């Protein structure tokens, strides 16, 4: 074998070896890339699945909350219905509990808060709805809606504020009285002015302040 042939054979052998090495390296590189891509995809799928599970959990919680609210409303309606038929009390043209509530709030004022549900009872022999408020109780006649009894403080109007002032001062002629609504320490009140007196009356008819001006 000549030196030239040996060099050629050596060069070809080196080339084949390098091709094999690069091929193996390429295979491992492709496998590594594929493995990394697969890991990223799996991770994204896992995150998306976790998000779906959270949405499902929130939806289930919302459904449960709505179910509780529906049951509560059904319970209140059932209690009102039972109260209307309790005790075997019979009356002609009987009001519904909702109508009795409307009369009660009209008499007491819309700022009052109920402490329970209306009940159909007998008040001194008269069929009536018992309306419990936080600050008192009221009995509404079951046929006409009139107030049979109430210890709930009712809001007054301007004329009643003038009457409260007149009773407090002992004034008989109130034709020159001037009244307007004001806020005293954050509370709605009436300011009644007559002669040289300024009387403050709260929204329930109680005199809270008196000012006298000397001219």
DSSP-derived secondary structure for 124-170:
TTEEEEEEEETTEEEEEETTT--EEEE-S-----HHHHHHHHHHHHT
137: domain range?
Answer: 85-150
Tell me what the mean pLDDT of segment 116-140 comes to.
Answer: 94
Q: What share of the chain is helix, strand, coil (3-state, %, to 5)?
A: 50, 25, 25
Higher pLDDT, 70 or 44: 44
pTM, 2 dp: 0.43
Of 81, 110, 125, the one marking the end of a domain is 81
Residues in the chain: 215
For residue 204, name the pLDDT band (cuts at 50, 70, 90).
confident
What tokens were used for 85? 């038929």
Given 104, 128, 150, which residue is the final one in a domain?
150
For residues 129 and 172, membership in a common domain is answered with no
Let me know whether 132 and 92 are in one domain. yes
User: Considering the chain, what is the average pLDDT of its residues?
Assistant: 76
Q: What is the pLDDT of residue 88?
A: 54
**Tell me, what CATH number does 105's domain have?**
3.10.450.40
Number of structural domains the chain divides into: 3
Q: What is the pLDDT of residue 90?
A: 57
**Buried/exposed code over 30-61 (b: 16+ C-beta within 10 A; e: otherwise):** eeeeeeeeeeeeeeeeeeeeeeeeeeeeeeee
Separation in Å, CA 6 to CA 1, 12, 16, 57: 7, 10, 15, 76
Average pLDDT over residues 32-38: 57
């Amino acid at each position: 074998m000549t030196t030239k042939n040996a060099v050629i054979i050596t060069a070809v052998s080196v080339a084949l070896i390098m091709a094999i090495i690069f091929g193996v390296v390429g295979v491992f590189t492709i496998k590594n890339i594929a493995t990394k891509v697969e890991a990223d995809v799996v991770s994204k799928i896992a995150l998306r699945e976790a998000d779906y599970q959270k949405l499902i959990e929130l939806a289930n919680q919302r459904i449960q909350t709505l179910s509780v609210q529906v049951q509560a409303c059904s319970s209140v309606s059932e209690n009102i219905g039972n109260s209307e038929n309790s005790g075997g009390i019979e009356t002609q043209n009987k009001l519904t509990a909702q109508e009795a509530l409307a009369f009660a709030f009209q008499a007491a004022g819309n700022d009052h808060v109920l402490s329970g549900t209306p009940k159909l009872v007998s008040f001194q022999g008269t069929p009536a709805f018992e309306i419990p408020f936080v600050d008192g109780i009221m009995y509404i006649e079951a046929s006409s809606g009139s107030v049979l009894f109430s210890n709930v403080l009712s809001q007054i109007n301007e004329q009643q504020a003038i009457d409260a002032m007149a009773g407090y001062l002992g004034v008989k002629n109130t034709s020159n009285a001037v009244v307007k609504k004001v806020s005293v320490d954050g509370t709605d009140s009436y300011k009644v002015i007559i002669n040289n007196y300024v009387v403050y009356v709260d929204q329930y008819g109680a005199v809270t302040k008196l000012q006298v001006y000397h001219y």
